[in-house]
Structure 1
Amino acid sequence: MRRRAFLTSTAGGAVAGVAGCIQNTSDGNGDGNGNGDGTNGNGDANDSDTNGNGGDNTLHVATYTSFVDAPSDSPGVWIKEEFEQRYDATLEWHTPQRELTHYVERYNEGAEIEPELYYGASPHDLVRVDENTDGGLFTETDRSKLENADDIGEQHEFDPQGRVIPTYRALCAIVYDGRNVPAPETFEDLLDPAYEGQIGIPTPQDTTGLLFLLWTLNEFGEGGEYDYLDYWSDLLDNGARVLDSWSDVYTQFENDELPVIVSYANDRVYAKRFGNDLEKHRVALLNGQSYANYSGVVRFSSGTNDDLAHKFMDFVLDPEVQAVVAERNVTGPTNEKTELPEVFEEYAREPEEPVFYDYEELSGNLSGWLDDWSRMAAGGR
């Protein structure tokens, strides 16, 4: 057996710090350092600054950095321009480095929270927020004010308290270099000597790694004769490398350092867009499955700009907007009326029934699962 190649991560911002919020980024790479809350390309706004916010015609929305930081393909840039044009308003993105953790801490300190909304909250985010606050950071959404809300597929809903409006989903899957390794078809295949030292996995402190952890938990369960921790132990004994972030893992894949990685089922859509070798970018759905991560928009309970907040929530559910976000973010829509570009039909992989844990299944369990995994990875099991 190969010696385990495990890198302890504290830089991912996922379960570090007081709040320990795990962020949902489309690439799984959340930034975990720093404390400020800036705007992206819109000046030096800060949550402690309540002056000069443009009045009722300016909407402040928080999100994760990668949603807005690449003007050529990030959805946030297009959303800002389109929203401002449609509603004759100003949209200010806020992208604090610690993402939702930043707002959890401000809420617990009694400090002002400037944004009206957070765009990109997933079930695990919601669980972490509620575990580390009194549950009052977000408020329930009045869906009667959203014309497009009735078109959300029921399978995409994950918040029993009705706070989060699901806006997109990502499907965790295995991406492999079809030129150099065979296609894995099952979880057990990844334990084969053919993949020894060939697999890269983000730490579960990163969103993508967490999705894979939950996927294995669904497959093997916990506490049995052979459970998800036993499977992970065998993966590590077979030389699987656990890295700090999805970005680190994907970089090694692109550099031909790792031929098998935990990534996303729409990888070939991304590869086709940039003219990459599609034989290298192959997607495997283990046991015909993938793990679904839903994300949505949620309103801070301190919000005051009711009109623009609801307009924005309805706007990001509009089928046209859903299609643009899906293409730029390489994710899937939640509005059933959305018509995706043809590239999705040809290159996206869709399981018949994705694996998924909702808020109620994660609540009260997530922290324990992560703690148990950390002990196992450190050699404590």
Structure 2
Amino acid sequence: MLTLLFVVACGEDEEDKELVIMTHDSFDISESVIEEFELANDATVVIQKAGDAGEALVRAILEKGNPSADLLYGVDNTYLGRALEQDIFETYSPDLLDEVPDRFKFDSTNHVIPIDYGYVNLNYDVEFLAEEGISPPGTLEELTNEEWKGRLVVQNPATSSPGLAFLISTIAYFGEDDEYDYIDYWTDLKANDLLVKDGWSDSYYTDFTKYGGDRPLVVSYATSPAAEVFFSEEPLDEPPTGNILIDKATFLQIEGIGVLKGANSEKLAKKFIDFALGKTFQEDFPDKMFVYPVNENAGTPDFFKFAEVPAQPSDISATEIGEKREDWIQAWTEAILR
């Protein structure tokens, strides 16, 4: 009996020596931060990148009950409904959740714990608009005017996270089945020479005028102007791009982490969630993933002063997104791409 207990105990110890985190390809944390967790817990952390956020979630669902990872990082409020519906996560309520403002607690059941957030909105090329003598649009409706014909590039919501976020913003802004709803709006955008690309990188670095394209407006992130300053080869006092923060037309994107059911190292996984909510982790990723920390006590780099926070983002719940996302995308595809 003593021998059996010893073997079982050793097995549990071995399980807690390695932590596997499945995440999206954009995940980026300093090695020193990961090493701090490893040293504190006498463990090894393995980062398992699985494509974009949607692809990572699909993999976790396919591995339901027998996951190759212990944690899934990167579930956002556009995919939360699907993740909860598939019942792939354990519940966990970390103490540091008390340091997270309620507006970021997007899962009341605590299957997915918020870690970071950002905003999707329109960006503009400052120099281009100045040379043209025009001001950035103040409403979404203005984008259907002749002045903005052929000047906007967006991403396909079926293949792009910011593309989906912008679509959802227009749904929150214009509504569904109203006299003039979001499909009517997108139809007018299409008639105004809208350009749709599959991904953000192509639209931003190929079609945006800042990088030699012919579109001075692009769907991007509120942190993009700050990123332009950060990556500039020469010091900048002001970013070359700007945010268009139209009330109720920006999208708050919240990303979270959850312990996968059947995880080999469940205890260690929960310790990592505690760590991920702490200041060391929270203050490390803003200049790597260009998102904001959810812990209200965590600071951000100086250049984040150019990463404006919208006063009134769109008001639409993760539950509604989960229920209607596929129908919205299908309706958009029928109206815009066919």
What interval of TM-score do these two structures reach, taking the shorter chain for normalisation?
Answer: 0.7 to 0.9
Compare 181-190 and 206-215 and name the one that shifted more. 181-190
Larger Rg over CA atoms: 2
Deviation of 1:172 after TM superposition, in Å, equals 0.7
Q: What code does the residue aligned with 1:197 have?
A: G
Deviation of 1:130 after TM superposition, in Å, equals 4.6
Contact 2:155/2:196, CA 8 A, preserved across alignment: yes
Aligned equivalent of 1:139: 90
Contact 2:156/2:199, CA 8 A, preserved across alignment: yes
Deviation of 1:126 after TM superposition, in Å, equals 2.1
- C-alpha separation between the residues in 2 aligned to 1:214 and 1:288? 11
List per-residue Cα deviations over 1:130-156 (Å, max 9, x = no partner): 55xxx3211211x1xx33121111010
Out of 305, 308, 328, the residue aligned to residue 369 of structure 1 is 328
In structure 2, the residue corresponding to 1:166 is in which secondary structure?
Answer: strand
Distance 1:54-1:357 versus aligned 2 partners, 3 A rule: farther
Is 1:185 matched up with 2:144? no
Distance 1:77-1:221 versus aligned 2 partners, 3 A rule: farther
- C-alpha separation between the residues in 2 aligned to 1:175 and 1:340? 21
Q: What code does the residue aligned with 2:326 have?
A: S
Aligned residues: 311
| 1:347-362 alignment, distance < 5 Å | 347-362=306-321
Is 1:316 matched up with 2:276? yes
Out of 212, 216, 234, the residue aligned to residue 256 of structure 1 is 212
- C-alpha separation between the residues in 2 aligned to 1:355 and 1:273? 28
In structure 2, the residue corresponding to 1:139 is in which secondary structure?
Answer: coil
- C-alpha separation between the residues in 2 aligned to 1:255 and 1:326? 24
| 1:66-215 alignment, distance < 5 Å | 66-67=26-27, 74-75=28-29, 77=31, 79-97=33-51, 98-107=55-64, 112-130=66-84, 135-141=86-92, 143=93, 146-181=94-129, 182-205=135-158, 206-215=160-169
- C-alpha separation between the residues in 2 aligned to 1:190 and 1:279? 23
Deviation of 1:362 after TM superposition, in Å, equals 1.9
- C-alpha separation between the residues in 2 aligned to 1:60 and 1:279? 38
Contact 1:289/1:351, CA 8 A, preserved across alignment: no
Contact 2:67/2:261, CA 8 A, preserved across alignment: no
What do you get for the CA RMSD once the two structures are aligned? 2.1
Aligned equivalent of 2:8: none
Q: What code does the residue aligned with 1:185 have?
A: G
List per-residue Cα deviations over 1:78-126 (Å, max 9, x = no partner): 543342244332100111233211222233xx6x312111011112222
Deviation of 1:305 after TM superposition, in Å, equals 1.5
Distance 1:222-1:169 versus aligned 2 partners, 3 A rule: same
Structure 2 gaps of 5+ residues are 1-12, 130-134
Contact 2:33/2:280, CA 8 A, preserved across alignment: no
List per-residue Cα deviations over 1:154-196 (Å, max 9, x = no partner): 0101113220100001101111101112312210121222221
- C-alpha separation between the residues in 2 aligned to 1:354 and 1:250? 22
- C-alpha separation between the residues in 1 aligned to 2:230 and 2:283? 15
Out of 248, 252, 267, the residue aligned to residue 292 of structure 1 is 252
In structure 2, the residue corresponding to 1:115 is in which secondary structure?
Answer: coil
Deviation of 1:256 after TM superposition, in Å, equals 2.1
Question: What is the TM-score normalised by the length of structure 2?
Answer: 0.86
Q: What code does the residue aligned with 1:369 have?
A: W
Aligned equivalent of 1:32: none
Structure 1 gaps of 5+ residues are 1-52, 68-73
In structure 2, the residue corresponding to 1:65 is in which secondary structure?
Answer: coil
Question: What is the TM-score normalised by the length of structure 1?
Answer: 0.76
Contact 2:15/2:265, CA 8 A, preserved across alignment: no
- C-alpha separation between the residues in 2 aligned to 1:242 and 1:99? 24
Contact 2:90/2:111, CA 8 A, preserved across alignment: yes
Distance 1:128-1:325 versus aligned 2 partners, 3 A rule: same
Is 1:325 matched up with 2:285? yes
List per-residue Cα deviations over 1:192-247 (Å, max 9, x = no partner): 22221121101112110010001000100010110011111111111111100111
